[in-house]
Amino acid sequence: MMTLTIGRDSQKGQLRMVAGSQTLLVGSKQSVPMSVGREHLRLTIDDDGRVILKNLNVENDTYVNGVGVEVKVIRRNDKIELGNDRYLLDWEVLDPFMPKFADIRPMKRVWDKYQQALLDQQIKERRSNALRSVTGIFTMSALVLGFFFGRESTLIASIYAIAITVSMGFFIKSFIDSSKIPHQQQALRDSLPKKYVCPCCKHFLGNQSYDIVSQSKSCPHCKAIFIK
């Protein structure tokens, strides 16, 4: 959480902005009217990225989008005016004090879709393996029936023919899948670093689940505070 106190510098008449130990005077001397208090308002940025404006004195007049306020959650480009003279507080002046925020909530869907795609590929591979085992079942059935009815039986010959046909079918399918599935898996792995990124700096968030990433307060690269 960060706070920024804004008011008029009593000596130079400039806009005075204080955040912790950092102080900044903005504008030319005597550019801020007397109707702006020395500590006119405070902006508080909470852990969720909300910017909360609070009027610090009942005698101060503070307007957001033309409406007088005491406490209000504001958004960038809201029109903020101070005092009866309606001194306009420019957002570009506030930017050096404003921390960066990154809304990573959409990344949960990206991660969930990636995990589901991985699971679908695993299921597809296991189904292919299960189908290949059918060939062995046909062959074993033929051997067992041959033991009881003799190998010259028409039924046994038919089962052998079916087993050979099924084997060839699964061999062809396995051959095709053996080249397709690895390419699909690689394409899936390559897609994650392009989509699973910090919204601010576009750096890859890593091969970690959204639950683990969201435990961090900020991006390790650009230090933008995560909105979760």
pLDDT in single tens digits along all 228 residues of the chain: 789 999 999 999 999 999 888 889 999 999 999 999 999 999 998 877 789 999 999 889 999 999 999 999 998 889 999 999 999 999 988 887 777 888 999 999 999 999 999 898 888 777 766 666 666 665 666 666 555 655 556 666 666 666 667 666 666 666 666 667 778 888 888 999 999 999 999 999 999 999 999 999 889 898 888 888
pLDDT for res 37 = 94
pLDDT for res 132 = 63
pLDDT for res 42 = 96
Backbone φ, ψ for residue 37 (5° rounding)? -70, 160
The angle subtended at Cα 24 by Cα 20 and Cα 26, nearest 5°, is 150
Two tokens at 185?
């898996």
Q: Give every CB contact of residue 24 below 8 A, 6+ residues apart in sequence.
A: 16, 17, 18, 96, 97
pLDDT for res 163 = 65
pLDDT for res 152 = 59
pTM strictly above 0.75:
no
- Domain ranges (residues) in the chain: 2-99, 104-218
Give the architecture-level CATH label for domain 2-99: Sandwich (2.60)
Amino acid at 208: Q
Nearest-angstrom CA–CA distance, 49 and 205? 20
